[in-house]
Amino acid sequence: MSFYESAVPAYLQMLGSLSASLKKAEAYAAAKKIEPDALLGTRLFPDMLPLTRQVQLACDFATKGSARLTGSDVPSIPDTETTFDELQQRIARTVDYLKTYKPAQFDGAEARDITFPSGPGKTTTMTGQQFLSNFSLPSFYFHVTTAHGILRMCGVEVGKRDFLGAN
């Protein structure tokens, strides 16, 4: 399986399911007369990031992970979204960005050294294989899963089928 096949379809599937879950959350908030900010600002635990930031980070890991694996310029995307609509737009932009990649752009990614920020003033270097398997995909799934968990905790009727999205 190519690196393209390991990364891009997974990112696209989960971003699609995240988008659909956010639509359910928006409808739930409207039906229950809940301020959208109450859902968007919810955290699983006080020291964790809120729903809005989980969505932003999921998009970042898909975008930046693909850019790094292909040796492309890593886009800088400001985190300014504060509404369901703005988060949907960010997901849509991420999906459009991912769809610009061609499988051949990932050729040789497994052996490419990838250096990325790993904390304030720190960087880490891994091979593309390590980066995809041990950092990029796990981080992406962590943020999508956390967003899903926040929605479920808030009472939004999302389950495993929603999480997996269309296959």
Instruction: Quote the tokens at residue 154.
Output: 């808030």
Q: Are 28 and 132 in contact (CB under 8 A)?
A: no
**Burial call 33-68: b when 16+ CB within 10 Å, e when fewer:** eeeeeebbebebeeeebbbbbbbbbbbbbbbbbbbb
pTM of this structure: 0.96
Query: What DSSP letter does each residue of 13-65 carry, written as one string?
Result: HHHHHHHHHHHHHHHHHHHHT--HHHHHT--SSTTSPPHHHHHHHHHHHHHHH
User: In 3-state terms, what secondary structure has residue 118?
Assistant: strand
How high is the pLDDT of residue 167?
A: 55
> What percent of the chain has a predicted confidence (pLDDT) above 90?
95
pLDDT band at 31 (very low <50, low <70, confident <90, very high): very high
Range of the domain at 110: 3-164
pLDDT tops 90 at residue 29: yes
Read off the pLDDT of each residue in 60-89 and give the average, rounded to a whole number: 97
**Mean pLDDT, rounded, of the chain:** 95
pLDDT band at 166 (very low <50, low <70, confident <90, very high): low
Q: Residue 48: which CATH number? A: 1.20.120.450
The number of domains in the chain is 1
- 97-136 pLDDT tens trace: 999 999 999 999 999 999 999 889 999 999 999 999 999 9
Question: Residue 90 is inside which H or E element, if any?
Answer: helix 84-98
